[in-house]
Structure 1
Amino acid sequence: MYYSRTGNTKKIAEAIASAVNVKAEAIDNKTTLSEPVDLLFIGGGIYWWNMDKTAKRFIETLDSSIVKNAVVFGTMGGLDKAIKDMINLLKEREINTKTESFSSKGKAWVFINKNHPNINDIEAAKVFAKNIVKSLI
């Protein structure tokens, strides 16, 4: 599940989903999870060094009785501090959260990371997802 304002995080979410044979689902301010999941890949864009408010709100609705394991991914123009914030927020919800995460550059404005996420970022996301699933089997 992911939130993407510009489409960068959506590209990574779709790569992860295709690698593990699931559907990438966008979240909005009304999204909640009611069905149990063994592993939740949760992603969001990083804006001005912070996690997006929509992704944060979604994480705040999650319950450890519904989400068995979680792993975080995101795209950013610069620093990835928000990835750590997402991990910490999931842990505060008492959700078993992998410390490994995936982040890639994402196009920001017109000139920063102009060609990202690129094919290398997409392939790296797929490898990451497959390795996470393997580690839980």
Structure 2
Amino acid sequence: MMNTAVIYASMTGKTKKVANAMAEALGTRALPAKEAGQVEADLLLLGSGVYGGNLSPDIEAFARSLDPGRCKKAALFTTSVTGAAASGPLRQILEEKGIPVLEEEFSCLGRFLLVCRMGHPNSEELSAAAAFAKACAASLSDGEA
């Protein structure tokens, strides 16, 4: 059985909702980066809200603390006011540590300051997040790791 972990950083609760949908789909628990400690996983899903174009310092610090010998592969997800993926710095940290990162990322609408995307993530986006997590896990079990 594949060991999966979902770790996130969320200031507004939007990324937490996405992380929980992914974790539920994979039969695990989503943990905030500040509480996660060292993890061991065949697949590590890492997510953050995007705040003013930047990821949460908590998720970046968590990524820097990872032991590359305990994490076989990572997948990234973000929430932002634009819905655009912005996880480049996180990808770079992981790849510099020697942790391979899946090419495809998941992103959806979130919130920043007074710009609130009410109703996001919606049920369709949460279903898409769950499907993304399952597809990532399936790609590893199908030998694409």
Size of the aligned set, in residue pairs, is 135
AA matched with 1:136: L
The DSSP-based 3-state class of the residue aligned with 1:16 is helix
Q: Give yes or no for the alignment of 1:32 onto 2:33.
A: no
Q: How do 1:49-128 residues align onto structure 2 when only pairs under 5 Å count? A: 49-78=53-82, 80=84, 82-128=86-132
AA matched with 1:82: A
**Taking every aligned residue pair, what percent have the same amino acid on both sides?**
33
Verify the 8 A CA contact 1:107 1:115 in the aligned structure 2: no
- The 1:18/1:69 distance shift into structure 2, 3 A limit, reads same
| Residues 10-68 of structure 1: CA deviation (Å, up to 9, x unaligned) | 0000000011111111121x6431x5211111111110011111111111101210111
Q: Give the match for residue 3 of structure 2.
A: none
- The 1:82/1:111 distance shift into structure 2, 3 A limit, reads closer
Q: Give the match for residue 47 of structure 1.
A: 51
Q: Flag as ranges the 4+ runs of structure 1 deviating above 4 A.
A: none
What CA distance in whole angstroms lies between the structure 2 residues aligned with 1:19 and 1:61?
A: 26
Q: Which moved more, 1:35-44 or 1:75-84?
A: 75-84
What CA distance in whole angstroms lies between the structure 2 residues aligned with 1:132 and 1:12?
A: 15
Unaligned ranges ≥5, structure 2: 1-6
What is the RMSD of the two structures over their aligned residues, measured on CA atoms? 1.6
Unaligned ranges ≥5, structure 1: none
Richer in helix (by share): 2
Verify the 8 A CA contact 2:77 2:105 in the aligned structure 1: yes
